[in-house]
Every structure is written in structure tokens, then in C-alpha cells.
Amino acid sequence: MNEQLKGKVAIVTGASRGIGKALASTAASLGINLAIAARQEGPLKETAEEIAKKYKVTVLAIPCDVTKLEDLENLVNKTKEKFGRIDILINNAGVSSQYPFQEQPIEDFERLAHTNYLGYVRLIRLVINDMIKNKSGAIINMVSGSTLCDPLPRNFIVYSSLKVGLRAFSKGLFWELRDHGIKVTSILPGVTDTDLTGKLKEITADTSRLMTTEAIENAVRFALTVPQNVCPLEIAVINQQTPWTAPVIPFKQQHPGK
Ligand SMILES: NC(=O)c1ccc[n+]([C@@H]2O[C@H](COP(=O)([O-])OP(=O)(O)OC[C@H]3O[C@@H](n4cnc5c(N)ncnc54)[C@H](OP(=O)(O)O)[C@@H]3O)[C@@H](O)[C@H]2O)c1
């Protein structure tokens, strides 16, 4: 429990499992009340009940598809109806699609762009004016360690280039909003053991290459607990043997379906 954060309110997207669930738990452990969002209601409700019981905070489960503007508006409105405020936004929902570019299904581009980029920008736009009015707020965006690679890792270029855009947007947003007392932090995780990476056979075959969510939880705890006049702009938490580094990634990395 953290006295300064106790009773604050956070929205966490993509919080039914994986990194988002871990970060919702981290926020709850600091005494923060939550509105958690994901598309599938069942697992979301289970997560809400589990976190509320364990950390004795209020957790609202709001089914939401971040690709839909009306769902984002509903998420913000329901959170404000229940809690009257939004202090923290942890923008985390994400999907993956790994293919050699020429084989990537064309419909995946729109899904990736709406989930991993536009959903983030739209949700920030929907909460930002209240944060400006309150002269405080914290926005945490889940970027990706793959944005540290140039050129981007093969078979990830659409996913990763959208994350590069998100990273650039986040940094620009901080400079634009810092006079309003709003913090914007990008988290750049390495390859983490979640459903999102579970199907990458070259990456997951050697499990010592995968991180647990623990380092990401610590990074977010740090971002939320630094003094008011400090903003960690970017925190990269990369596993020592991240498979994105050139010598480890096979020359012909295949999609799992191959
Ligand atoms: N795992 C990694 O190695 C890694 C590395 C770097 C960055 N990241 C980033 O970290 C974030 C979380 O990834 P993860 O590994 O925890 O993935 P995950 O285990 O697959 O979980 C994804 C979460 O997002 C939700 N979600 C997916 N699409 C959504 C949508 N359209 N609207 C609302 N919620 C949606 C999912 O629930 P529903 O399916 O029910 O909607 C789920 O709760 C992503 O932004 C990802 O790009 C992950």
C-alpha cells in the first residue's frame, strides 16, 4: 500500500491476462482502485474478482474492444460514473501477428493498427482533458523492446513499426503536456512469457529466453511512485538473451503455422 496512491483510480486495458493482469495487480497492491478492460467478459470478471479479493480495492470489469471508439467512450464514462475520476491510464491491450510481410493477412494490418496504436491514442484523448483540469495524471503505454532494434526484427515489422509510432507519440505527448503536471511513460518489455508469445516456436523453444512479468511490474511500480516532479519517460526491461538480437534470431525464422 502506498499512502499517496491509495484511493486513486486507474484504467488498465488488456487486463484479463498476461502483462495487463500483472500490472492491474501491481496497481491494486499500491491501493489503487481499478477499471479493467478486455473483450471477453468471463476472464475479465474472474480477474476483477481475484484482484479485488486479494488487494481489498474496488475493481470494475468493463468489457471493451479498444478498436471501437464507442467502447472506449463507454469505458471512460463507466469509470467516471463509478469513481468520479481517472488518475492513471495503463494502456496495454495488444495483439500480435508474425509473418513474413508478403504472407501476412491483409486484414491483420487494420487489427494491429486499431488495437496497438489508434486505441491507445483515442483512449488518451478521452481522458486527457480531465487530467489537465486536475493538473495531474499518469499515462503508461505498453510499447515494445522491439522498437530498440533498427532494422526491426523480421516477421514483426507491422507490429513493431506501430509500436515505434506509439513510442514517438508518447514522448511527444510528454513534452506537450508536462506543464500540466501529466506524466507519460513508455514501457519497452523484452519477450515475456504470455499468450501473445506462446506460439512463437523459435522464441519460446528455449524458455530461458523468456521473461516473466515481474520486471515489468517493477518498472510500472517505479513509474507510479517516483516524486511528483519526476517522469520516467521510457523504461526498457529486456531479458539478457532477448531473441531479437541478431545472432539468436534464425536467418529464416518461420511462422508457427509453417
Ligand atoms: N508478451 C511480450 O513478449 C510483449 C513484449 C513487448 C510488448 N508487449 C505488449 O504488451 C501488451 C500486453 O501483451 P501480453 O503479452 O500480455 O498479451 P496477452 O497475454 O495476449 O494479453 C492481451 C490482453 O489484451 C486484451 N485485448 C486484446 N485485444 C483487445 C482489444 N481489441 N480490446 C481490448 N482488449 C484486448 C486481451 O483480452 P481479450 O482477448 O479478452 O480482449 C488480453 O487481456 C501488448 O500491448 C503487447 O504488444 C508484449
Residue 221 in any domain: the answer is yes
Q: Which domain holds residue 145?
A: 9-237
Distance in angstroms (rounded) separating the CA atoms of residues 187 and 163? 11
Where does ligand 1 bind, in terms of residues with CB under 6 Å? 13-20, 37-40, 64-67, 92-95, 115-116, 142, 144-145, 189, 191-192, 194-197
The pTM (predicted TM-score) of the whole model is 0.94
Residue 251 in any domain: the answer is no
Is 159 among the catalytic positions? yes
3-state secondary structure (DSSP) of residue 175: helix
Exposed, middle or buried, 75 (CB in 10 Å: 0-12/13-18/19+)? Answer: buried
Residue 233 in any domain: the answer is yes
**Per-residue confidence (pLDDT) for residue 39, from 0 to 100:** 98
Residue 156 in any domain: the answer is yes
At residue 18 the predicted structure's pLDDT band, cuts being 50, 70 and 90, is: very high
pLDDT at 184 over 60: yes
CATH value at residue 76: 3.40.50.720
Counted domains in the chain = 1
Residue 200 in any domain: the answer is yes
Give Cα separations from 181 to 61, 71, 188, 230, 249 (angstroms): 28, 28, 23, 10, 42
Residue 257 in any domain: the answer is no
Residue 42 in any domain: the answer is yes
- The CB density around residue 247, as the number of other CB atoms within 10 Å, is 5
Q: Hey, whose CA ends up nearest to atom 32 of ligand 1?
A: 65
Q: Could you tell me the distance, in angstroms and rounded to a whole number, from the CA of residue 177 to the centre of ligand 1? A: 27
Residue 114 in any domain: the answer is yes
Q: Which three cell numbers stand for residue 208?
A: 530461458
| Angle in degrees, CA 76, 77, 78, rounded to 5 | 95
Distance in angstroms (rounded) separating the CA atoms of residues 151 and 94? 22
At residue 188 the predicted structure's pLDDT band, cuts being 50, 70 and 90, is: very high
